[in-house]
Chain A
Amino acid sequence: MTKEKFQSFWNKFGTLCILIVLFIAFSIGSPKFFPQPANLIQCLLQSTVYILLAFGEFFAILLGGIDLSVGAVACFSGIIVADLSLKGVSPVVCLIVGLLGAVLFGFINGVLINALDLHPFVVTLGTNTIYRGICLVMTGGNPLFNLPKWVKGLSAYIVGIPKPVIYVAVIGIILVAFTTKTVAGRNLYALGGNKQSAWYSGINTKKYTVLAHILSSLLAGIGGIVMLARVGAAEPTAGAGYETYAIAACIIGGASLFGGKGRIWGVILGGITIGTINNGLNIMNVSAFWQKIVMGSLIIASVALEKLISNKVRK
């Protein structure tokens, strides 16, 4: 294989290779891990929330920004759906209102970034705390449980496949099409590549910034509802710290923090990597406290490994 060929191979499949390495490592670490298809499905299921949040995060990162509020937005959507479902509102209305709430928060993020001309890091650092506060105020700090059966049903199995995996697959296909086949998707890449060039080419940079943050929050909202369905209760602290996993998934998946680079396919693999690390450590009976330490180290290691190989190839 020539250098160029390997480089293009690594660009496309680098994340996948890292994932396979992890699979092998965990299989050696615990015999329960690999051979069982049930656990593979479990791996995917555990990845779904990360992937959905990472989908959203991806659009913020694509513009060279970041969204630190995805965890809080996910929690907020979950709380709205839980609250309305307890009041007997029909499922469809619950879901629509929950997602509209997320869209509103994303809209606020985008508008603040434009109006104050601040870096998204600063704006979402602030709104993350505000949105979390809203979650706590709405619930009085107590979890909402005893939810109607349909909520839990959102994460039920269909012919052996968990519904959240199907959601991710469908949304993933839609997003792949959006980012690669639509004019709006390409304009987001243009804006992320060079904001000034985009402006001088006629792209309305402010509107696209709002669009990216609405997408970010909407997808986080969907992730929040899946999280609610899986847990079966709405905790006001749910999803705290998940923004870090979402960011990590994007970077592992090949997105650049400088913007303009990355693919949905990579984000999916990045999310699965996070889910796999989580699952593998659980199976190996690593304590929840130690898991955090190992998880963080593995995130750095997997990005570093990918970068190391990319650099080697380039030389």
Chain B
Amino acid sequence: MEYLKMNNITMKFPGVVALDNVSFDLRLGEVHVLLGENGAGKSTLVKILSGIYTPTSGEITINGRPVSDLTPKGSADNKIAIIYQELSVVDNLSIAENMFLGKLPTKKKMGITVVDKEFLYAESEKYLKEIGLKKNPSTLVQDISISEKQQVEIAKALCSNAKVIIMDEPTSSLSIDETKNMFKIIEHLKKNNIGIIYISHKLPEIKEIGDRVTILKDGKYVKTLNISDLEVKDLVPLMIGREIKDKFVGTKREIAPDEQPTFVVKNLTRKDGTCRNINFEVYKGEILGFAGLIGAGRSECMEGIFGAKTISSGEVYYNGKKLKIHNPYDAMKQGIAMVTENRRETGFFPNFPIWKEIAVSTSLKKSTLGGFTGMVQTKSEKNIAEKFTKKLSIKCTGVNQMTYNLSGGNQQKVIISKWLAVDSNIFIFDEPTKGIDVGAKSEIYAIMRSMAEEGKTIIMVSSEMPELLSTCDRIIVFRDGEISGIFNSDEATEEKIMLAAVHLS
């Protein structure tokens, strides 16, 4: 008997259909895995269940009863608990207070309502014992480890009598022993007749812990399978496989046998360990793609190369010469450009018109003493900006228009212009088409291709497999902060990339 049912759920956002007629159900006492690539719609589904999004159409029934308007509170009332990847415990409260957040037990003391500490601690102790967390309930959450915090969240779900627990990549930051312990807890929850929706990219653990799996792709429902009768590697083809239109377009950059790469990265490791021992090389005029799951360390690696974040080791060579890069200024001076993932946070200036935006790095490069000297050349800077708005066909009322008033695609073009104006040679694009509409996307690909043809060297990090396959000459795959595969465009397929990006053992 299905406890939770979602029938024909569709979720539309302006310009995107995040979920298209997706159905999903959950029985009590089972682990139902949600599987899919980046952007397949898993998070959207979870957000609908948690009451953050209201679906455009479709119906949800819980325990046979239709639930029309699920709000965050309604979700909790329906005994649904969610354990997010970014844990939501309050660090400066005790374990017990976290478990009873918003419903602390009280008693009367001299006519005043106070927290009933004895009851609070005794009650939370009970749940902690149940899941095997040996901690005093009065311990502050800031003093316990991440896996223990996760267990506190599970205990919290138990003490709110949750029937459905959603776990979003619960093992992504756990060690092997902690993962084993987590599985033990999940087995225990199953025995207690709790249904678990489990999101993970680690295929082997899906086999180990899951009962059924539902696969989503591009917001569409693919299949629901019993896990006992399938092999892990059978899952990968289901997660991918689109129409052939995403084949490589343009002329592939052929590499001569004796050609030397123009840009080489050796043994790059970031101080925070988000990427380790990265080695790769790019040839002049080539577009090198970086594939991988979100959080695999691709952007982190690029930030390290660009000097925006600290690296603990690693060398970068340009045309055989070793570069010294301590910050983005050094990178910029030596011809490296980076178009960042989040335009709003790290891309443009809300107080600058287009021409100033484009001139910022150029004037910095021309100036001396680390960028403290030099005069603003308004006239020539405006001319340069006008040249680029024409060249990249930026839709604007003129170079005096504020960048933040432009559409996402045109903002991106302004940022690309900024780096073209500096005359950079190595371009790092981090998710260059994020939040950009389809038409502008193909314009950005065309710009990148023509830049490559003009002799620029291009690195492109992307979580959209089709655009990597259609734009890149070669594709490097990241997994857990390390390189796990390199493919030429003629041999690269979604399946090969996906197999390299996820854990198979």
Interface residues of A (CB under 8 A from B): 180-187, 189-190, 192-194, 196-204, 207, 211, 260-261
Stretch at the interface among B240-248, B344-352, B438-446: B344-352
CB pair B347 A182 closer than 8 Å:
no
Per CB-CB distance, the 9 closest pairs between chain A and chain B, nearest first, are A202-B332, A193-B349, A193-B351, A260-B351, A183-B374, A202-B329, A196-B346, A183-B363, A183-B367
Chain A CB within 8 A of B499 CB: no
Q: How far is the CB of B400 from chain A (nearest CB, A)?
A: 12
Cβ-defined contact, B328 with A200, below 8 A: yes
Q: Does B418 contact A (CB under 8 A)?
A: yes
- Chain B, Cβ-Cβ closest to A177: B375
Cβ-closest chain A residue relative to B367: A183
Q: From residue A34, how far is it (CB to closest CB) to chain B in Å?
A: 37
Q: With A and B bound together, what is the CA distance between A190 and B348 in angstroms? A: 9
Contact string, B321-365, partner A, CB cutoff 8 A, digits 1/0?
000000111011100001010000111111110001000110111
Q: Are A197 and B351 within 8 A (Cβ)?
A: no
Any A CB within 8 A of the CB of B370? yes
Please tell me if the beta carbons of B348 and A197 are within 8 angstroms of each other in the complex: yes
CB-based nearest B residue for A207? B370
Please measure, in the bound complex, the distance between the C-alpha atom of A68 and the C-alpha atom of B306, giving whole angstroms. 36
| Nearest residue, chain B, Cβ from A200 | B346
Q: Judge if B87 is at the interface, Cβ distance under 8 Å.
A: no
Could you list 20 further interchain pairs (A-B, Cβ under 8 angstroms) beyond the known A182-B375, A190-B349, A190-B352?
A181-B375, A182-B373, A183-B363, A183-B367, A184-B371, A185-B376, A186-B356, A187-B371, A193-B352, A196-B345, A199-B327, A199-B346, A200-B338, A201-B360, A202-B331, A203-B360, A207-B370, A207-B372, A211-B372, A260-B350
Q: Interface size (B, Cβ < 8 Å)?
A: 34
Assess whether A202 is in contact with B364, with CB atoms less than 8 Å apart. yes
- 14 A-B residue pairs with Cβ-Cβ distance under 8 Å, sorted by A, are A182-B373, A182-B374, A183-B372, A187-B364, A189-B349, A190-B360, A199-B308, A200-B346, A201-B360, A202-B331, A202-B361, A204-B327, A211-B372, A260-B349
The answer to whether A197 touches B349, judged by C-beta atoms less than 8 angstroms apart, is yes
Smallest CB separation, A255 vs chain B (Å): 12
Pick the residue among B345, B346, B351, B364 that contacts A192 (CB under 8 A). B351
B345/A186 in contact, CB under 8 A: no
Q: Which of B351, B364, B376 contacts A201 (CB 8 A)?
A: B364
A184:B372 contact, CB within 8 angstroms: yes
8 A Cβ contacts from B360-404 to A: 360-361, 363-367, 370-376
**Complex Cα gap A198–B375 (Å):** 18
In the complex, what distance in Å separates the CA atom of A183 from the CA atom of B332? 16
Chain A hits for B340, CB < 8 A: 200
Cα separation A187 to B363 with both chains bound (whole Å): 9
In the bound complex, residues from chain A placing their C-beta under 8 Å from that of B418 are 201
Question: How far does the alpha carbon of A186 sit from the alpha carbon of B364 in the complex, in Å?
Answer: 10
When the two chains form the complex, which single residue of A187, A207, A261 contacts B351, counting CB atoms closer than 8 Å?
Answer: A261
CB distance from B415 to the nearest CB of A (A): 9
Closest to B418 in A: A201
From residue A178, how far is it (CB to closest CB) to chain B in Å? 10
Distance between Cα atoms of A189 and B349 in the complex (Å): 9
Quick one: which of B351, B365, B375 contacts A202, CB cutoff 8 A? B365
Q: How far is the CA of A228 from the CA of B366 in the complex (A)?
A: 42
Which residue of B345, B350, B375 is within 8 Å of A183 (Cβ)?
B375
CB pair B352 A189 closer than 8 Å: yes
A183 proximity list for chain B (CB < 8 A): 363-364, 366-367, 371-376
Nearest chain B CB to A114 CB, angstrom units: 13
Contacts of A192 in B (CB 8 A): 351
Residues of chain B contacted by A201 (CB below 8 angstroms): 328, 332, 360-361, 364, 418
